[in-house]
């Protein structure tokens, strides 16, 4: 039976799963594959070098799927920020109706999207930020636990507690993000009040993922202990794969007196991370990965993955129903 939730109804999808907006990974072939499989594929705007390039990526995605897909725009701390307004305007002009926003001060973008009749999902790592986003008018919140790849915030709050707090405090739909790779995770998130989940790292390890096969194989061979945090001392914590470069960054940060960003800039450039995915050398630069890598054992197509997750979720729900029935008979 289909897993009908507020998310599937709102987004017009079959499976309550959103693909994370991953830098260098959220390209047309992956977004379209996720949408064709029943979830919501996401193009990552800042992966494209310009708004015009995003326009072409949207058109390419439309050639690959007739299903709904979204665009992620992440607001980054930067001296020379990207043309966020340009990316947003182009996506709206191309008919995109679903957006995922993340980062600081999303208010102007959210206001613009809502004025155009769009649906907005906003990523948060704390309940107070989630409440602020509700006041800005978002439709769905993506609640990111400490397990997630990328930036988990500075409060180190695991998903179980964060989602339970969301159930207590929030009045709008929310999805769970971080540490989810299978049907068990989906059902657990729904038990904690979520109407769906966001998966990033799990989709990195699919046939349609545009990253090098060596990186997919590395993820499959890794355990939940193979990630680490960088930028902790700079109060901009990021979870990345524990490779030689990441460990060097951590060592520099632990020096007496700490470190400045200039001390590690050459190690953490986004350009190096992009090359990791292109040439397949997992030690060339830093690249994001969730602790969920410990659960990933293969790289199926997106269609096979989502069908598997649906089946697993149904089995778990059926098993829980049996527990309830057994208890009632005692």
Q: Where are the domains of the chain?
A: 6-212, 227-288
Neighbouring-strand partners of residue 176: 143, 197
One pLDDT digit (tens) per residue for the chain, 330 residues: 679 999 999 999 999 999 999 999 999 999 999 999 999 999 999 999 999 999 999 999 999 999 999 999 999 877 789 999 999 999 999 999 999 999 988 999 999 999 999 999 999 999 999 999 999 999 999 999 999 999 999 999 999 999 999 999 999 999 999 999 999 999 999 999 999 999 999 999 999 999 999 999 999 999 999 999 999 999 999 999 999 999 999 999 999 988 999 999 999 988 899 999 999 999 999 999 999 999 999 999 999 999 999 999 999 999 998 886 655 555
pLDDT reported for residue 328:
54
pLDDT reported for residue 158:
93
In 136-171, which positions are buried (b, 16+ CB within 10 angstroms) versus exposed (e)?
Answer: bebbbbbbbbbbbbbbbbeeebebeebbebbeeebe
pLDDT reported for residue 233:
93
Give the three-state DSSP class for 43: strand
Residues 6 or more apart whose Cβ sits within 8 Å of residue 267: 245, 248, 249, 252, 285, 286
Strand order in the sheet with 119-124: 17-19, 197-199, 174-177, 140-144, 119-124, 98-103, 69-75, 41-44
pLDDT reported for residue 296:
98
Name the architecture of domain 6-212. Answer: Alpha-Beta Barrel (3.20)
Give the three-state DSSP class for 68: coil
pTM for the full predicted model: 0.95
């Amino acid at each position: 039976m289909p897993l009908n939730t507020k998310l599937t109804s709102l987004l017009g999808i079959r499976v309550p799963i959103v693909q994370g907006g991953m830098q260098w990974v959220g390209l047309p072939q992956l977004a379209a594959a996720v949408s064709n499989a029943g979830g919501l594929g996401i193009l990552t705007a800042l992966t494209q070098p310009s708004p015009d390039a995003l326009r072409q990526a949207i058109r390419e995605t439309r050639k690959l799927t007739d299903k709904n897909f979204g665009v992620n725009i992440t607001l980054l701390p930067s001296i020379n920020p990207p043309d966020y307004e340009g990316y947003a305007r182009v996506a709206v002009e191309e008919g995109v109706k679903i957006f995922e926003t993340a980062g600081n001060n999303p208010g102007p973008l959210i206001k613009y999207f809502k004025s155009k009749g769009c649906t907005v999902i906003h990523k948060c790592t704390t309940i107070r930020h989630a409440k602020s986003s509700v006041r800005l008018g978002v439709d769905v919140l993506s609640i990111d636990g400490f397990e997630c790849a990328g930036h988990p915030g500075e409060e180190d709050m695991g998903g179980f507690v964060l989602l339970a707090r969301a159930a207590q405090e929030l009045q709008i739909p929310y999805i769970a993000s971080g540490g989810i790779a299978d049907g068990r995770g989906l059902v657990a998130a729904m038990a904690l009040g979520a109407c769906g989940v966001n998966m990033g790292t799990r989709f990195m390890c699919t046939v349609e993922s545009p990253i090098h096969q060596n990186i997919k194989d590395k993820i499959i061979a890794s355990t939940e202990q193979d990630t680490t945090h960088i930028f902790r001392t700079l109060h901009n914590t990021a979870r990345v794969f524990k490779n030689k470069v990441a460990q060097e960054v951590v060592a520099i940060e632990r020096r007496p007196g700490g470190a400045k960003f200039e001390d590690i800039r050459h190690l953490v450039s986004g350009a190096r991370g992009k090359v990791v995915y292109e040439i397949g050398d997992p030690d060339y630069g830093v690249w994001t990965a969730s602790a969920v890598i410990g659960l990933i054992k293969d790289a199926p197509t997106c269609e096979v993955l989502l069908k598997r997750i649906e089946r697993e979720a149904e089995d778990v729900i059926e098993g829980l129903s049996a527990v309830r029935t057994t208890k009632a008979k005692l």
